[in-house]
Structures are given as structure tokens and as C-alpha cells.
Amino acid sequence: MMKKTVPIDQSSPSPETLQQVKTLIIVPAYNEEGSIVKTVNEILDLGGSLSVVVVNDGSTDNTAREARTTRAYVISLPFNLGIGGAVQTGFKFAQQNGFDLAVQVDGDGQHDINFLKRLIEPVINNEADMSIGSRFIPPFLGYQSSFVRRIGINFFARLISVITQYKVTDPTSGFRAYNKKMIALFAKYYPHDFPEPEAIVVAGRYRARIVEVPVVMRKRFSGNSSIRYFKTLYYMIKVTIAIILGRMKQKKELA
């Protein structure tokens, strides 16, 4: 399946669009006390039928306390599971509470929520099971992270294109929307460490329809990325092995 680019629209989602489906915004957060309130409030200010769950991934700062000052649901994990474990917790919450649509948004403020409408429309319109916000589809070529990380992103884009039927430009993007099929799949299994590229391979095994949507990424509101310096090389090696092994796994029917 080749990449499908969705037409560009920078407008905020309308209340009518947001009322069409019961939508959960999953916000994984680890030591994001400086940005979590602003991130959650930006989402909730959109109105509609949006709900937010902040999954506090064993933070050692005041992330949980800050999140509880908002109208979001807050789940605090007893210790740090990593981004994959936190996001999977959100999928389980979505499934258990009957949400039709789940959207993953980072807690650091990098994802511009004004692009939410573009992200969810392919899923709402049954054109895709999973929609990925890409920072590398023109004309939105704004903040794109460091040069070293862009090398890693390009490497994974090429690797996934070679070993799967998908052509993606931004496989590490954590700005994604999912329908009920994908919520059920990822509530049962979601890659744990640096999961975004591997999740595309997992979705491919279940013949999910995946599209990319042009979006703008911003610099973090505060804090630092968990993938820095020599950890980037470790990340690339580990995820490459996980992607290759994941491609070799047999599809299992969902319970």
C-alpha cells in the first residue's frame, strides 16, 4: 500500500466533526510537569466530544499532580514502563470505556493540536484504520528535530518501505489516530521500547489501512527528549532488530 497524502487544511476541528465519534486523546507523559497542563488545555479547548487521558509513566516530578489540575483522566503507573507501555495503557482505557477513536498526542507540546481535524478525518471517513501525522510532507516543513534524528527517521522510513507494503515518510511520529480495530489490536499488544516504527509493522500484519497527513511539529514546551546522543545509535539498532523480527511473526487472531 503506497502512501496516501490527505488534502491540507490548517483549520481547527469543528464541533460538528468532533461530535461524530467518541474520541479519546491519549497523552503519555514522563517528567512533563512543565508542559502537561498547557498540552491538555489546548486539546480540551477544542470542545466537542473529546476526552483526554494522561498516562503518567512513573514520573519522578510533579507531572501527575499538574495533570490532575485539568479536566483530564489521569492514570499513574507505579513505575516507568516506557512510551510503549504508557500508550498501551491508554488503548486499554479506550477499549474498556467504549471509545470509537483514539488519538496519540505527546505530552511535551510538540504536536500542534490544530491539525487534529486533518489527522482524524481519514479514520472518521473510513478511509484508514490508522492515520500518522508527518512533518515531512510539503508544504509543512517546519521544525523537524536534529540532523542526527532525521538520519534515523529516514533510515526507518526506508527500512519499513522495503520490508512492508507501506511507504511512509515519518515512521517515528507519535501523532496518530486509530479506529476501533486498531484500539483492540494495540490494547492487546503494542511494542514497548521506542514503539512507533515497529507499530507500523504490527499494523501491517493485520492489513491495516495506513495514511499519512501533513502536519507541523513544534519544539518541546519544556524538558528534553528521551532519545539523545549515543542513545540514538542504540535506538536504531534495537528498533531495526525489532522490526525485522516483527515482520517474521505470524499473524494471530484477536480475541
Q: Evaluate whether residue 3 is within a structural domain.
A: no
44 domain residue, yes or no: yes
Residue 85: CATH number of its domain: 3.90.550.10
pLDDT band at 157 (very low <50, low <70, confident <90, very high): confident
Q: Do the domain assignments include residue 84? A: yes
Domain that holds residue 159: 15-248
Q: For residue 233, is it within any domain?
A: yes
Residue 89 in domain? yes
> Domain for residue 2, yes or no?
no
Q: Helix/strand/coil (H, E, C) string of the chain?
A: CCCCECCCCCCCCCHHHHHCCCEEEEEEECCCCCCHHHHHHHHHCCCCCEEEEEEECCCCCCHHHHHCCCCCEEEECCCCCCHHHHHHHHHHHHHHCCCCEEEECCCCCCECHHHHHHHHHHHHCCCCCEEEEECCCCCCCCCCCCHHHHHHHHHHHHHHHHHCCCCCCCCCCCCEEECHHHHHHHHHCCCCCCCHHHHHHHHHHCCCCEEEEECCECCCCCCCCCCCCCHHHHHHHHHHHHHHHHHHCCCCCCC
Tell me, yes or no, whether 105 lies in a domain: yes
Task: Please tell me the distance from the alpha carbon of residue 189 to that of residue 126, in angstroms, as a whole number.
Answer: 23
In whole angstroms, what is the distance from residue 217 CA to residue 121 CA? 19
In a domain, residue 254? The reply is no
Q: How confident is the model at residue 3 (pLDDT cuts 50, 70, 90)?
A: very low
Q: What is the mean pLDDT of residues 202-213?
A: 92
How confident is the model at residue 159, as a pLDDT? 84
Angle (CA) 204 209 214, round 5°: 110
Cis peptide before 214 (omega within 30 of 0): no
> Looking at residue 1, what is its pLDDT?
43
Q: How many domains does one find in the chain?
A: 1
Q: What is the pLDDT of residues 37-91, one digit of tens each?
A: 999 999 999 988 899 999 999 999 999 999 999 999 999 999 999 999 999 999 9
Let me know how long the chain is: 255
